[in-house]
Amino acid sequence: MSTSTASGRVRPLSQAADIPLYEQVKRQISDRILRGTWPPGTVLPGESQLARDFGIAVGTVRRALADLTAEGLLMRRRKTGTVVTGRSPDHSLRFFFQYFRLHGANGSLLRSKPEVLAYDIGKATSAERGRLQLAAGASVVRLHRVRRVDGRPAMHERMIMPAARLPDFPPADALPELLYLYLLDRYGIRISAIRESLTAELATDEDVAIFGPDAPKSLLVIDEIAYDQAGLPTIWALHRAVTDRYCYVNEVR
């Protein structure tokens, strides 16, 4: 296998975030790997170079790399250095929360591309206030996205979040692909638990418009509340997914 050396700027680490620096380094490196920025065979810069890039101690970088090696994303090669393996961390609940939960029929990890269909900030409805434990008059951020795998729509989702906790949330054309990672990096909000209710429902006219006339007549519907590290409801999400080509993977540990 031919190798290439990883390069490029890193995002600044947050000294104030409620998460250790080594964990922030792990998330940045794993983000690049799982999104394909650093494909299998990529040789990472040395520990000293990464430490300079991140502006932290070598020992902090070493701990992050050791964890990612133990999780299977990286491997150490004598005379070569630290190399991206190409293996998917299916066992890791941390990655499960951050990345797409529809897998291939064989269980393989799939990368999806989100596309924003609608976005607004407005007064919360009574249902939104109830699910997110908000006071009367509170505002929410509403996001409607479709997720595509190899260009084909696999899921569309509505996500509602308390606006007061997300000051200066970016506009629709600048929304991050990895929302959970953005909440952590920008606001120090770590999604730590998710409660889901799964049902099957007949496809609606909106579903047909998104998935196409050949979509299955019934869909997997996931009603989900995501909680932060303090146990506060942070995201109310409604996902509607086709399962003729995918399977839903949930992990508990």
pLDDT at 10: 67
pLDDT at 64: 93
pLDDT at 15: 64
Q: Using an 8 Å Cβ cutoff, are 14 and 24 in contact?
A: yes
The CATH number fitting domain 21-84, selected from 1.10.10.10, 3.30.499.10, 3.40.1190.20, 3.60.20.10: 1.10.10.10
- Selected residue with higher pLDDT from 36 and 142: 142
Distance CA 175, CA 42 (A): 28
Q: Using an 8 Å Cβ cutoff, are 148 and 115 in contact?
A: yes
Distance CA 216, CA 68 (A): 39
CB proximity list for 218: less than 8 A, separation 6 or greater = 200, 201, 202, 203
Q: Average the pLDDT over 202-206 and give the result.
A: 96
Q: Domains of the chain: which residue ranges?
A: 21-84, 93-248
pLDDT at 135: 96
Please write the tens of the pLDDT for every residue from 153-185.
999 999 999 999 999 999 999 998 888 878 887
Which of 28-32, 74-78, 79-83, 213-217 is least confident?
A: 28-32
Please write the tens of the pLDDT for every residue from 126-145.
999 999 999 999 999 999 99
Average model confidence (pLDDT) across the chain: 85
Q: Average the pLDDT over 13-17 and give the result.
A: 61
pLDDT at 78: 87
The residue written with tokens 């296998």 in the block is 1
Q: Is the pLDDT of residue 205 over 50?
A: yes
pLDDT at 137: 96
pLDDT at 182: 85
CATH of domain 93-248: 3.40.1410.10
